[in-house]
Amino acid sequence: MPCAFFQRASRYTATFTHTMTFKFASTVLPLSARTARFASVACLVGALGTLGIGQAVAQSQPQSPTPQGQMFEEEIVPQRYANNPNVDAFINDLVARYDFDSAALHDLFNRVSYSATAVKLVLPSPTPASKNWRAYQARFVEPIRIAAGVKFWRANQAALQRASDQYGVPPEAIVGIIGVETIYGRYMGNFRALDALTTLTFDYPDTPNRAERQATFRKNLEDLLVWTHGQQIDPTTVLGSYTGAIGIPQFLPSSIVQYAVDFDGNGHIDLRSSPADAIGSVANYLKQHGWESGRPVVWRIAGDTGSQGVAQAAADGQPEPHWSLAQLTKAGMLMSEPGLNTMAEAGTPVTVVDLPTPGRATEYTLGLKNFYVLTRYNRSFFYALAVYQLGEAVKAQMSAGDAGVSASQ
Q: What is the largest CA-CA distance in the chain?
A: 71
Confidence of residue 37 (pLDDT cuts 50, 70, 90): low
> Left, alpha or beta for 338 (phi > 0: left; psi -120 to 50: alpha)?
beta
The reply to whether 359 falls in a domain is yes
Confidence of residue 48 (pLDDT cuts 50, 70, 90): very low
The reply to whether 248 falls in a domain is no
Residue 23 has pLDDT above 60, yes or no: no
pLDDT of residue 168: 98
pLDDT of residue 8: 25
pLDDT of residue 403: 54
pLDDT of residue 11: 25
| Stretch 51-77: mean pLDDT | 45
pLDDT of residue 10: 27
The reply to whether 329 falls in a domain is yes
Residue 60 has pLDDT above 60, yes or no: no
Percent of the chain with pLDDT over 70: 80
The reply to whether 212 falls in a domain is no
Per the CB < 8 A criterion, the answer to whether 8 and 26 are in contact is yes
What are the DSSP calls for 12-75, one per residue?
EEEE-SSS-EEEE---SS-TTT-EEE--PPP----------TT---SS-S---PPPTT-B--EE
The reply to whether 150 falls in a domain is no
pLDDT of residue 73: 58
| Total domains present in the chain | 1
| Stretch 137-158: mean pLDDT | 98
Residue 408 has pLDDT above 60, yes or no: no
Residue 179 has pLDDT above 70, yes or no: yes
Residue 406 has pLDDT above 80, yes or no: no
The reply to whether 315 falls in a domain is yes
In a 10 Å sphere around its CB, with 0-12 CB exposed, 13-18 middle and 19+ buried, how is residue 172 labelled? buried
pLDDT of residue 1: 29
Question: pTM, whole model, 2 decimals?
Answer: 0.83
Domain that residue 316 falls in? 298-367
CA distance 387 to 55: 20
Kindly list the catalytic residues: 181
pLDDT of residue 36: 53
Q: Using one digit for the tens of pLDDT, what is the confidence trace for 316-337?
A: 999 999 999 999 999 999 999 9
pLDDT of residue 5: 24
Q: How far is CA 257 from CA 18, 228, 311, 330, in A?
A: 33, 10, 39, 45
pLDDT of residue 125: 87
Q: Using one digit for the tens of pLDDT, what is the confidence trace for 201-253?
A: 999 999 999 999 999 999 999 999 999 999 999 999 999 999 999 999 999 99
| Of 145 and 71, more confident | 145
pLDDT of residue 401: 76
Long-range contacts of 155-161 (CB under 8 A, 24+ apart): 155/275, 156/275, 156/276, 156/279, 159/263, 159/264, 159/275, 159/276, 159/279, 159/280, 160/279
Q: Using one digit for the tens of pLDDT, what is the confidence trace for 291-306?
A: 999 999 999 999 999 9
| Of 93 and 20, more confident | 93
Mean pLDDT of the chain: 85
The reply to whether 23 falls in a domain is no
The reply to whether 211 falls in a domain is no
